[in-house]
Amino acid sequence: MNTKERAILLMHCPDKIGLVGEITGFLQSNNGNIISLDQHVDPESNEFFMRIEWDLNGFIIENQKIGEFFNTLIAQKYDIKWRIAFADAVPKMAVFVSKYSHCLFDILSRYESGEWKVEIPLIISNHDKFKHVGKRYNIPYYHIPITKDNKAEQEKKQLDLLRKYDIDFSVLARYMQILSDDFISHYPNKIINIHHSSLPAFAGAKPYESAYKRGVKIMGATAHYVTAELDAGPIIYQDVTPITHKDSIKDLKRKGKDIEKIVLSKAIWSHLNNKIISFRNKTLVFGS
């Protein structure tokens, strides 16, 4: 089975009888063999969600027309919010970083080994610390320092770069600057952040210190989409690691780095593989 020639539809709408049949009927009557279908109705909101992946071999609608046909024939009727993706697409991802290397290096290691289907056209940082790393991977590295006074204009530069490089989504790999609401508004559900605690515990600054002070016995990391409210966006993935009284703040930081980089990379994988639907500040993340 050639995984490259596949399309994925992600969608949601108010639940109605006949939705699954009509949508799968649309694919199958056009000779699309469904590879996997994950469907869910949220009992609180009565919203219908579906991720459907099918084989494009022999599918009678050409790729760039599928969206139009689906919209006209199905989506409009049910008021479906949808997006289409193709398994052989190679999204363009920007990486934002400050002074910590663990997430950056983990991302670049996966990039270099070909673990992910992604292109990284640029790295943006408020420090020049990892300039040599950009060179090493032949990735343009933009040093854009941020102060209280120049934030607006520097963010404009960042946005220009994202547009210039035709960026699909961005990853904040321990980027220690708060993005403005305006910046975020250009990329809804397109900016993934890693927070170094198990949100909603210890939102904001210095979560390690707070965790140490509170004497928690587990410590976590949270990957989430960035929204205007700090550390409050839709959670994509979380994990924890056990802590004991023997762990100093330095140990918490060391242990934290391991879960942060893995949690962030799992979230990126799910995003890259079109496994995520966002809805009202929550996500549905479909399993591998």
Task: Please list the active-site residues.
Answer: 231
> Which residues fall within 8 angstroms of residue 185, CB to CB, at 6 or more apart?
228
Task: Single out the residue of 7, 11, 19, 75 in contact with its own copies (rule: CB under 8 A).
Answer: 19
Q: By C-beta, is 34 or 90 nearer to its own copies?
A: 34
| Tokens at 96, concatenated | 């934002």
Q: By C-beta, is 103 or 162 nearer to its own copies?
A: 103
C-alpha–C-alpha distance, residues 144 and 139, integer Å: 15
Q: By C-beta, is 32 or 134 nearer to its own copies?
A: 32
Helix, strand, coil percent values for the chain (each to nearest 5): 35, 30, 40
- DSSP states along 106-159: HHHHHHHHT-S--EEEEEEESSSTTHHHHHHHT--EEE----TTTHHHHHHHHH
Q: By C-beta, is 24 or 189 nearer to its own copies?
A: 24
Residue 42 binding its own copies, by CB under 8 A: yes
Give the rounded distance of the alpha carbon of 130 from its chain centre. Answer: 23
Residue 2 binding its own copies, by CB under 8 A: no
Q: By C-beta, is 183 or 202 nearer to its own copies?
A: 202
Residue 41 binding its own copies, by CB under 8 A: yes
| Interacting residues with its own copies between 174 and 193 (CB under 8 A) | none
Amino acid at 129: K
Q: By C-beta, is 155 or 247 nearer to its own copies?
A: 247
Residue 60 binding its own copies, by CB under 8 A: no
Judged by CB under 8 A, which stretch of 67-75, 82-90, 173-181, 244-252 contacts its own copies?
244-252
Residue 44 binding its own copies, by CB under 8 A: yes
| Tokens at 215, concatenated | 């004497």
Residue 140 binding its own copies, by CB under 8 A: no
Judged by CB under 8 A, which stretch of 85-93, 146-154, 185-193, 260-268 contacts its own copies?
260-268
Number of residues that bind its own copies (CB under 8 A): 77
280, 288 in Cβ contact below 8 A?
no
| Interacting residues with its own copies between 261 and 280 (CB under 8 A) | 262, 265-266, 269
Amino acid at 252: L
Which run of H or of E encompasses 69? Answer: helix 63-70
Residue 230 binding its own copies, by CB under 8 A: no
Which run of H or of E encompasses 213? Answer: helix 207-214
C-alpha–C-alpha distance, residues 70 and 63, integer Å: 11
Residue 254 binding its own copies, by CB under 8 A: yes
| Tokens at 195, concatenated | 């927070």
> Which residues fall within 8 angstroms of residue 168, CB to CB, at 6 or more apart?
91, 92, 93, 190
Residue 25 binding its own copies, by CB under 8 A: yes
Judged by CB under 8 A, which stretch of 5-13, 41-49, 62-70, 148-156 contacts its own copies?
41-49
C-beta of 42: minimal distance to its own copies in Å? 8
Residue 196 binding its own copies, by CB under 8 A: no
The rounded radius of gyration (Å) of the Cα atoms in the chain is 21
Task: Single out the residue of 163, 164, 186, 282 in contact with its own copies (rule: CB under 8 A).
Answer: 282
| Interacting residues with its own copies between 78 and 137 (CB under 8 A) | 101-102, 105-106, 109, 112-113, 115, 136
